[in-house]
Structure formats: C-alpha cells, structure tokens
Structure 1
Amino acid sequence: MADVGDSKACNFHDMELDDRILKAIAKLRWTEPTLIQEKAIPLLLEGKDVLLRARTGSGKTAAFAIPVIQKILNYKQVAKEQVVKALVLAPSKELCQQIHKNFLELTDKCCREVRCVDISPQVDLSSQRPLLIELPDIVIATPSRALAHLKSQNLVLKHSLEFLVIDEADLIFSFGYEDEVKEVISFLPAVYQAILASATLSDDVVNLKKLVLHNPVTLKLEEPELAPASQLTHYHLAAEEDDKAAILYALLKLHLVRGKTIIFVNSVDRCYKLKLYLEQFKIPTCVLNSELPANVRCHSVHQFNQGIYDIIIASDEKALEESYSGPLAGKKSKRKKDKESGVSRGIDFQFVSNVINFDFPLDVHSYVHRAGRTARGNNQGTALSFVSVRERPLMEQVENHLKQGYSDDGSLFKKYEFKMEEVEGFRYRSKDAWRAVTRIAVREARLKEIKQEIFNSEKLKSYFVDNPRDFQVLRHDKALHTVKLQPHLADVPDYLVPHSLKRLAGVSNKRKRPFSRGTTGNISKTKARYEAKRNNPLLSMEFSGFKKKKKS
C-alpha cells in the first residue's frame, strides 16, 4: 500500500484520453479535472488497484468512470467478442441511477461502442434478463441485485470481468451487504482491477479493502471532509423541541431561508409530521425516505433538481439500520425498510443552497454527509442546525472532529442570530398546528401517500410512457390533507412580522400620514362640516308645508 503525494498538475488533454471522451467532457463543461480526478485517473489507467478517499461532491464518480470507459475503448480495438467488462456496485438504488446517468453522459459520443445498464430496480429477474443477454460492457447494481442475477446465471463474469468498482464503500457493510459482497466475489475471476470509492476511511472500508483490493494505492487527499469555511457556513441555533417547529415556520414564512433546501430529520415519522405541519401554512414540501417506492424516490430527486419544488424533508440513513448504539438511540423499528435506499448519502442533489438539521444528526459521519449535500463544486452553501440541550454534546463532537481540517482556531459553528421574542406571535399559531399532527394523522398520511404513488407509478405507467410531459407535471409535494386545514394560516398578518423584517417580508414600514390642516389645498374645519352635511342626504334634506299658523 502506498500513499500518493503531490504530482505534476495536468488537465484532461494531458491524460491521453480518447477524443470521444474529451468531447463528452467538453459537453459537460468541465474545464479542468478536480483534485481527486487529477490524481486517480492516471493511476487507474496504469491498471493499479486504488482506494479513493475524498469528500462528498469532489468528483469521485468521474474519477473511476473515465478510466473504465477508456480501457474498454482500448479493448474494443482488438476484441473478437462482446463481453461484460465492468461491474459497479453501490449501496442504494438512487446512487446506482446517478452512476448510470454519469456513465451515459461520459459515453455520449461513443454510446454504440460502450453500453451501460442499471439493473438495480427491484423488478422480476426475467424482465431484466434481455438486458444482460446483450452483454453490456458495464453493469451497475446493488450487491443483492447483482448476486441474484449471478445465481440465476443471467450474468456470467467468471472469464470476462476486468473491473470491479464499489462506490460509497463505507456504507456497504453498514447497509448489511457484507455477506452479499463476499458471495459476489466468489463469482468473479481470480484477477481483476478493483476500485473502492468512499468519503471516509472507516473500519468497514479497511475490512472491505482487504477483501477486494490487491496491493492497492491508497489515494487519500489532504483536504477537509467538507467544503472550506469560505464556501460552506455552519450555523447553530439553540432550540428546544417545542420551539423548533415555530422557528422553522418563521424562517420560511419571513423568507430568511431562500433557495433550494433539504430539511433532515432522524425518522420517517418525523418526515410526515413536519410535512403535515408545514402543509397547514401552505408551505409545499415533499418527503424522501426508505419506505417510498424506489422509482418515486428517484423521481422526487429528479424534480427537486429540476426546480419544480424547493423543499425536501428527508430522513437520515441511520433510520435504515435495525439498531443504533449512539447516545440518542431509540427503540428498534418493526417497520419493513428498504436497505437499498439512502438519503443523506450518495444521492446527487443539485444546487442546494441550504441544509437544515431539524434533528441534529446522531454521529459525525451523518453530519458530514448531510452538510455535503450543499456547497458542492464551487457553489456556496449553508448548514443550519437546531440544537437542543441534550443534543449539545453531539454538536461538540462534530465541531471537534471537523475543526481538525480547518486552520482557524475559532468556533466552527456560528451562532444564528434569531430573537424568539420578536416572533412570539408565530409561536401561538405553531403550537396549535404542531399539536394537530397526531400519530393517527401521520399514519394515515404515510398510507395515503404510498397508495397514491403506487397508483401513479403502476396503473398509469403506459400512459406516462406515451405522454412524458404529463409525467413531468406529476408532483410529489401534493397536500396530504389528513389534518384539518385553515386557509387563513397561509398568510402572515402584518402585525406578526417584526419591525426589522417588514421590508424583507414585503410589508411596508411607512405609517399613514396624519391629516394636516392649515396648509394650502386642505379643507378648513368649517368647510369640512359643510361638505359632510351636503353629502349626507339626511342632513341636507329641507322640509316644507309644515309651518305653524299665526294666531289671529
């Protein structure tokens, strides 16, 4: 094993890549490789096993996709038969779809020569068999799905595989894929080039490295796990459980939070409780969790990326695990969950301006991957965490861990200046709305949305194939209406808006000028009375014929 130090900087044209790959890169408007791409691509083109460790959003997918495509194109020049050359494993269906999309973009100019398929969707094996019979060059799947096809002999790799890629390697074991990965390896040839990509170097990654890699190069870049403080700003706001909902309501309604936002909670029930709460104030949101169908989750992320709606409420990947030994661990859940779904990890949310931790994450790695959804590439972002007294130790753990990557010795978390007494009026509305979301309402909302989405995705599948525009109109932020809605709550009266925020909220600060007298053009007091009398028919009416007779 060797650590890679500094090497001579280069760009994509210096890497001796095929012109078709360079044209695809130019179409994506990538002007120069990221640091991980600059270091990893030459090593992979040399045929080395590599462990990639770089922070979320640093371009790890392209770092392994480009050399895989290049080596397949080289093989095609002398190949006599079509075979499967690369197997890419990822822990979630959403991540598989994202990787597939990236491969399609990079093979845009050579799609006839290099074919790629994603077999992660949970459909009948027989329906995916035709895709594998054509022997695509690259197969993308979750470990359990790949194993199912290998056992059924729809996929045979014993004599053809050249590349094995495992993305988000630190989640493979935590999602319960240890046995599946070991069994998949038994179906592979003795010699192949292996690539592990991960945002962290946990003990699980070390164990997986011993299982998969042979004398690897460990490419660990000297950079913080998250974007620098100049790009990603971390805020904390002290809030107990009773105040969190009121603060969130005020932040959204007063437009203090702008841009695309992901709100993280620690359980699926909290997703729906928060959605139903915001729904009462006509704040449209959609939920993303492990219990929704895979195609619904993917479609929700796609529409969020397209800007159709701006707020997603997501449950963390810790909710997928059967048990958790952290300081805030709860009871084991009896609900059936999809272990192939991850939210704070792997999914490519695009152009996210804000991450709000409504519930503070249960450990350091969860915070890293939550905050990593924003400030991607060269974009700016903010991460705002609501922190109660019992969550304070967790925040201190996160801060101590992250400050190791920053040169500034000061506090990483900046205090979000928010005076609760100035929005006291919001609290009264909030309490009633929060109490209205009962456990029964949450349960009914979950059942209603799942039934609704299953109907949309299955019963109308053929219709949406013929009418793709109608499919785009399909919204995932529809109101669930399991809580009684009061229309007047959608508006914020002027008296609730703090004086300092009236201009930001679109409320005028100007007071009506009092009526002034004695100036030119103003009506005098006497004339005003006369005008009022003349304009009032009851006062201006004259009576005749009722004169008293004079005494003779």
Structure 2
Amino acid sequence: MEKKDNSLNFHQMELDDRILKAIAKLGWISPTLIQEKAIPLILDKKDVLIQARTGSGKTAAVLIPIIQKILNSKSSLTEQRTSAIILSPSKLLCHQTNKVLTDLTIKCSKIIKFVNLTAKTQTAAQKHILSQNPDIIIATPARILSHMKQKNINVKESLEMFVLDEADLLFSLGFKDELKDILENYLPNTYQSALVSATLSDEVMDLKKIVLHNAVTLKLEEPELPPITQLTHYHILAEEQEKAAILFTLFKLFLIKGKCIIFVNKVDKCYKLKLFLDQFKIRALVLNSELPANARCHAVNEYNRGAYDIIIASDEKTLVKPGESAKSKVKDDSDYGVSRGIDFRCVSNVINFDFPLDVNSYIHRAGRTARGNNEGNVLSFVSCKEQNMMEAVEEHLAASYTNGNSQIIRRHEFKLEDVEPFKYRANDAWFAVTKNAIKEARLKEIKKEICNSEKLKTFFENCPREMQVIRHDAPLNIIRGQEHLSEVPDYIVPKALKNIVGIVTKKRKHFTPKAKFNPKNKSQTNNALSFDKIDYGKKRRKI
C-alpha cells in the first residue's frame, strides 16, 4: 500500500521537539506506514497488535510514543519510576532495541533513563541500576523474571506500557512459562500493551487473549516484501559443488557488488563456506549462535558500520522439527534464525546458498535487503532437491504481487561453462575443507572470542592498530594457504569481463630455458653461463 498525499508526518503527531530533532538526525524524512498508523493509537492509550513485514519500522513505531508519554509525565511526577517494559526473545534483539532507543533519546538522555538487562553487566551492578527505577527496562523474559523473583524490580504500581517485541518468537523459543509467570504475578491489574510481530501465528493470537484488552489490530494491507521494482529475485540451478564455484566466480569477477548476507541451513556449512572463501582471500565473517552475545552484537554493528562486506549466517530455526521446542535445541541466549529480527543495514544482496526450507524463511531472509527506500537483490542457488520448495515460494510471491500471472523469481543468466577454469579451482578448494577442518575452525573462533574479552577494551582504545586482531572476518588459517588462488589469471577471465575494474589478474608466465654450465668452455669465469647448450628439462627421445 502506498502512502497517500494526506498522510501524517512526524511533526503533525504532536511529538516533543527533542524527539523530532532525534528523528531528523537519524535522517527519517517521513514515517513508514506502520509508524503513521501505530503512533497516534499508542499515544491515545490503545492496546495494539502490530503485524507488519520485516524492515517496516515496527520498533520505532512503539518506542516513539513511549518516549513521548514519559516526557509528558515527567512534568507532573515527583519521583522516578519505571513506566515501560520491553521484552524481546533474544539478547541480540534487546541490544537492537537499546540502540534505537539510544538514538531516539539523544536529545533527552538526561531525562529519560533506560537499562538493557541483557548487557554484559554483573548482577550486582544491574541491581544497583534497577534500584534507581529507570523509566524503561529492556530484557528477555527469563532475565527480567529472575530480577523480579529477587525483588529487584517492582512495577505493580508504576507500569504504564508493556511491549512484547517479535511476539511470534517468544512462544516458539520456549518462553511461554516465563511470560505466564510475569503476567500473573508481577504486573499491575491495568496497563497498556503492544504486541509486535512479523507474522500472526497461533501463538501470537494466544498471547493476544492474555495480554491485550480491546486491542486494535494493525495488519496493514501491504506485501510481505518490497515490490519487484525495488527487490529483484533471481535463481541459479546448481548442485552443491557448482554452488561454490559460482559463488567464487561471482565474487572474483565483481559481478556482485555491495554488502551481502549469505544464508545456509547449518552452522557447519557457515564455516565450510568461510574456509572455502578464505583460500581465495575473500574475507567474510560468520554470525554463529554459539559465540557470546556481545561478540555477535559487535559483529553486526561493525557490519552495519561498513567494516565488513560479507556475512555468512545460518537460519537454524527452519531445522526445528514441528512440535519440538526450539529452546530444547539451543540455549536461551541463542539468536538462531538470523533471518528474523536482526537489523542489518544497507544490505544490497541476499544470497541463499542453501534454499530455505519453508516459504516464511524465504520471506524473512529476503527482508534483510531492500529496506526503506534502498534497492536490493535476492539470489538463490537451487539444486534438484530444492526445486519443489522454490516453486512453492514462487507461487506464494506471484499470488502476493501479481495474482499469479507472472514469474517473480527470474532465472539468472549465468553460464558456468564460460568460466570452466574457475570450476576446477573451486572444486579443489571445496574438497580441501574437511569435517575436521570445520570442527577446528569453530573451536578456534570460540577460543579467539574468549581472548577478545571486555578486559582488553581499554588496551585497544589506546592501541587502535591492534584492533585488527579482533576483526571477525580474519582468515582462520585452518586450510593450507595457496597464494596463487587470490589472483585471477588473465587467461581464465571471459573476454566480455576483462575490462571490469577491480579484477586482479595475473598474466601467464612464459617458459624461459635455462643455460647449462659448460666446464669445457674455459672462457667461462665467475660462474658465467654459456648458451651453447640449452636444457629444456626433457631428454630427447632416441630414434
């Protein structure tokens, strides 16, 4: 749905000047459709159920009115109190909410206090911060329940706003019992609520009955993904080994430009792909759910800042069997299902190295790019076994976009036979990555992150050059390096691509025969060479 000319702008929503200045500093010219509809409703003290696609601005749609309401109440309050609680299913999403909140309160940071309980802070320090009753608390259900049981948080008389972000994940990640305990025992009888979700699953509807009262449901009539004029979908038919060869070729010939996220279905495949690319000096980082949350947050922030161009991520949520709790497979801290929720910025390309296992996963992966007014591409490698799922995705997208009358996922005109020499190099590098190498790489990265602890933060601030040590995309050096693989020989580059700027080529060296030293030639002195006899390295065949 396109916004009409008579749509509301931020300055027409009766927002505080400090909020408007923060919004202007963020470069937000006008509110998104969900922000335009949700902000006035929340300011009008309505319970809301917000359902909108990834990247539509749902988080800010809730945070802006919360900040406004706190600023309004500050003029009459005589004591500090906690007014809002925001729960997210993972630490990474909590950090993301904390970052948006920091940006929106930059002009009123001395007035509005908030705390992220998932930050790497000792419990005693968090207890001290909570004793000061911050205006907003951000946490996972498990973390905030722990503090509530210790009586570090008491909001039965002060809470005004209760928000569940990514509500559809809260149940699927196993937080049902914690949420029930919080709602029944630690919240006041009346408060305003908001459920925010990318999908309206059965779990979300169950939460709606428990949390919301006379709620307004905002299910905007907009496509799940940006229009095809903004987001282009491609596919390439290829088997496992061919996928690696094509990916290597696309990067080395600069046929893919801009920041990329490469999705696979397993963490092991993440490291196999990284070790494969390392051999060609193509730098990429792995976003691994096994790493500490602060390491993952640092990696995402550095990627958003532009320090890295390629992230390899797994969408492990699709691997959970129906009816099986995701929490039983991973720890509470895990942010598996990277296709959901995480705020990757300015992503130009999403590459499905492994095609997603369901339609929703494809939607969420594709939603990482073409956010805001930016354009993006989704390139999917599809094997024979994956074609049925691609057809299901194609059918779903066609029904959403064009009522089933047009092909959405276009075939990428890539001919591997034109770059056959790349295939030989890629196959050798792919088979060089063994299971033991993958295991060693995963262990090595975990050990490295332990060394890169917060205790070293001061040292790196004083020695910025040493910061290169903790680059997340540094080669793992598990596979024996071959220097020649980083360069592309001139003779294997297709003629049509030889003029592309950026391709580092190396011309073939011609054979130069070596002269044999002739001891009978007395004129040779000081190890001089005589060219009267040439050794070509081969013995002549006797006839």
Question: Alpha carbons of 1:466 and 1:232: their partners in 2 closer, same or farther (altered >3 Å)?
Answer: same
Q: Hey, what does 1:526 align to over in structure 2? A: none
Hey, what's the Cα distance between the residues in 1 that align with 2:502 and 2:85?
54
Counterparts in 2 of 1:119-138, with a 5 A limit? Answer: 119-121=117-119, 123-138=121-136
CA deviations 1:123-178 (Å, max 9, x no partner) are 54223112211211001111111111111111111211110111111111111111
Question: Alpha carbons of 1:174 and 1:253: their partners in 2 closer, same or farther (altered >3 Å)?
Answer: same
Alpha carbons 2:317, 2:337 under 8 Å: kept: no
Q: Hey, what does 2:321 align to over in structure 1? A: 324
Hey, what's the Cα distance between the residues in 1 that align with 2:502 and 2:187?
63
Residue of structure 1 aligned with 2:358, choices 340, 343, 363 = 363
Stretch of structure 1 that moved more, 171-180 or 307-316: 171-180
TM-score of the two chains, using structure 2 as the length reference: 0.88
Question: What RMSD in Å do the two structures reach over aligned CA positions?
Answer: 2.7
Q: Hey, what does 2:476 align to over in structure 1? A: 480
Stretch of structure 1 that moved more, 453-462 or 195-204: 453-462
Hey, what's the Cα distance between the residues in 1 that align with 2:172 and 2:393?
20
SS in 2 for 1:460: helix
Residue 192 of structure 2 corresponds to residue 193 of structure 1: yes
Shift in Å, 1:340: 4.5
Shift in Å, 1:22: 1.3
Residue 376 of structure 2 corresponds to residue 381 of structure 1: yes
Q: Which runs of 5+ in 1 are unaligned?
A: 512-537, 540-552
Q: Hey, what does 2:334 align to over in structure 1? A: 339
Hey, what's the Cα distance between the residues in 1 that align with 2:44 and 2:32?
19
Question: Alpha carbons of 1:121 and 1:111: their partners in 2 closer, same or farther (altered >3 Å)?
Answer: closer
CA deviations 1:441-478 (Å, max 9, x no partner) are 00100010110011012452443466678558731111
Question: Alpha carbons of 1:54 and 1:362: their partners in 2 closer, same or farther (altered >3 Å)?
Answer: same
Q: Hey, what does 1:535 align to over in structure 2? A: none
Hey, what's the Cα distance between the residues in 2 that align with 1:45 and 1:139?
19
Q: Hey, what does 2:270 align to over in structure 1? A: 271
Residue of structure 1 aligned with 2:112, choices 114, 121, 125 = 114
Q: Hey, what does 2:88 align to over in structure 1? A: 90
Counterparts in 2 of 1:24-423, with a 5 A limit? Answer: 24-121=22-119, 123-186=121-184, 187-318=186-317, 323-325=320-322, 338-340=333-335, 342-407=337-402, 409-423=405-419
Counterparts in 2 of 1:413-452, with a 5 A limit? Answer: 413-452=409-448
Question: Alpha carbons of 1:179 and 1:507: their partners in 2 closer, same or farther (altered >3 Å)?
Answer: closer
Question: Alpha carbons of 1:340 and 1:152: their partners in 2 closer, same or farther (altered >3 Å)?
Answer: farther
Higher Cα radius of gyration: 1
Hey, what's the Cα distance between the residues in 1 that align with 2:352 and 2:445?
24
What code does the residue aligned with 1:35 have? L
Question: Alpha carbons of 1:20 and 1:120: their partners in 2 closer, same or farther (altered >3 Å)?
Answer: same
CA deviations 1:297-355 (Å, max 9, x no partner) are 01111111111110010111416x7x3249xx9xx997768435552111111110000
Hey, what's the Cα distance between the residues in 2 that align with 1:440 and 1:506?
35
Q: Hey, what does 1:548 align to over in structure 2? A: none
What code does the residue aligned with 2:149 have? K
SS in 1 for 2:350: strand
Question: Alpha carbons of 1:132 and 1:354: their partners in 2 closer, same or farther (altered >3 Å)?
Answer: same
Hey, what's the Cα distance between the residues in 1 that align with 2:144 and 2:226?
34
Hey, what's the Cα distance between the residues in 1 that align with 2:163 and 2:329?
33
Q: Hey, what does 1:11 align to over in structure 2? A: 9
CA deviations 1:481-532 (Å, max 9, x no partner) are 11111111111111221222222266799x9xxxxxxxxxxxxxxxxxxxxx
What code does the residue aligned with 1:358 have? F
Shift in Å, 1:392: 1.1
Hey, what's the Cα distance between the residues in 2 that align with 1:97 and 1:73?
23
SS in 1 for 2:299: helix
Q: Which runs of 5+ in 2 are unaligned?
A: 508-529, 532-543
Hey, what's the Cα distance between the residues in 2 that align with 1:401 and 1:130?
51
Hey, what's the Cα distance between the residues in 2 that align with 1:508 and 1:312?
23
Alpha carbons 1:289, 1:343 under 8 Å: kept: no
SS in 1 for 2:488: coil
Hey, what's the Cα distance between the residues in 1 that align with 2:504 and 2:93?
47
In percent, how many aligned pairs have the same letter?
Answer: 60
What code does the residue aligned with 1:307 have? G
SS in 2 for 1:314: strand
What code does the residue aligned with 1:373 have? R
Hey, what's the Cα distance between the residues in 1 that align with 2:193 and 2:464?
39
In the comparison of the two structures, how many residue pairs are matched? 504
What code does the residue aligned with 1:406 have? Y
Alpha carbons 2:95, 2:119 under 8 Å: kept: no
Stretch of structure 1 that moved more, 74-83 or 259-268: 74-83
Alpha carbons 1:318, 1:324 under 8 Å: kept: no
Hey, what's the Cα distance between the residues in 2 that align with 1:344 and 1:411?
24
Stretch of structure 1 that moved more, 406-415 or 337-346: 337-346
